[in-house]
Structure 1
Amino acid sequence: MKGDLQMYVENIGIDGLVTDLKLMEEVMLKNGLVLEGQWDYERVTFDKKYVIREGTYYLRIFGELVEGDIDGRKATVRLKQPVLGKYYYPFGVEYGEGEEFPASLVKDCELTAKAVYDELKQYSV
């Protein structure tokens, strides 16, 4: 992970992966990442929430529409590099370089992103 403007989960291969949204949702859910209401007609956001002693954190994997209809779940989506953020009430999730992330949390985020990539890469278009 690097600390510039955001804390990215790097060197996984997920950035730029393109696949079917329905399949993507199944794989994400299997790995603890949920879509919930975090989508619009051009973007999706999958979240995995961590509540640990140091606070509440989110692994986020963003995606953007390549073609189709996200609302109807008939879409092809390109994933972006996963990012890790810390939640602050009432402001939301912060991704800044000043954030401290426990090593065990970072490791789990890397393993989760790798598991998602390993399963989805075989279906990449």
Structure 2
Amino acid sequence: MIPVPSKIESQIFTLYDLEQRLKPLGYVIGGNWDYYHGSFDYEIDDKVGYQFLRVPFNVVNGHLDDKEVTVKLGEPFLLSHKYQIGLDDNVHVGNKTASFDQFSEPEDPDAEFPEEYVGVGKELVQELESTLLS
């Protein structure tokens, strides 16, 4: 994980406004959210695992399932997940677990971030700043 300091940190927005501005740029709301925090993820590459720019946020007012929820952005960071290549040999699928255990386990959920994409991540943060702060 590589932190990328930014002027967007601590800025407050409605989640709806953020979605309207960030989704056209290629950001999605990450799957690891609950009612009080979440993140926007931008996939940089997926050749050897996945490299993301992640922009975390915490709820200021409301819950993430509220229509008018406001959130405060955290410090963006670069993140890499590396998955096992080959057979899903650690998967034991039965009728009760088939929908949960169908994919291979991460080989390294916090893998080293490739140096070649650090500059790309910093440029993406600059784009975020110009999109959100202007």
TM-score (norm 1): 0.76
How many Å apart are 1:53 and its aligned residue?
Answer: 4.5
Secondary structure at 1:45's aligned position in 2? Answer: strand
Q: Distance in 1 between matches of 2:109 and 2:20?
A: 25
How many Å apart are 1:113 and its aligned residue?
Answer: 1.7
- Tell me the equivalent position of 2:95: none
Q: Distance in 2 between matches of 1:55 and 1:37?
A: 17
TM-score (norm 2): 0.71
Moved over 6 A (4+): none
Q: Is this contact kept in 2: 1:40–1:71, CA < 8 A?
A: no
How many Å apart are 1:52 and its aligned residue?
Answer: 5.0
Count of residue pairs the alignment pairs up: 112
Question: Which has the larger displacement, 53-62 or 22-31?
Answer: 53-62
C-alpha distance 93-19 of structure 1, shift in aligned 2 (>3 A): same
For structure 1, which runs of at least 5 residues remain unmatched after alignment?
Answer: 1-5
Question: Which has the larger displacement, 62-71 or 25-34?
Answer: 25-34
Structure-to-structure mapping, 1:40-59, within 5 angstroms: 40-51=34-45, 53=47, 55-59=49-53
The reply to whether residue 115 of structure 1 matches residue 127 of structure 2 is yes
The reply to whether residue 31 of structure 1 matches residue 25 of structure 2 is yes
Q: Distance in 2 between matches of 1:36 and 1:101?
A: 21
C-alpha distance 93-7 of structure 1, shift in aligned 2 (>3 A): same
How many Å apart are 1:120 and its aligned residue?
Answer: 1.7
C-alpha distance 102-34 of structure 1, shift in aligned 2 (>3 A): same
Secondary structure at 2:54's aligned position in 1? Answer: strand
- Tell me the equivalent position of 2:110: 94
Q: Distance in 1 between matches of 2:129 and 2:114?
A: 22
Secondary structure at 1:15's aligned position in 2? Answer: coil
Instruction: Give the letter for the 2:54 counterpart.
Output: R
Higher relative contact order structure (alpha carbons within 8 Å, sequence separation ≥ 6): 1
**Which protein is richer in strand relative to its size?**
1
CA RMSD of aligned residues (A): 2.1
Q: Distance in 2 between matches of 1:110 and 1:47?
A: 14
Instruction: Give the letter for the 2:3 counterpart.
Output: Y
Percent identity between the aligned chains? 24
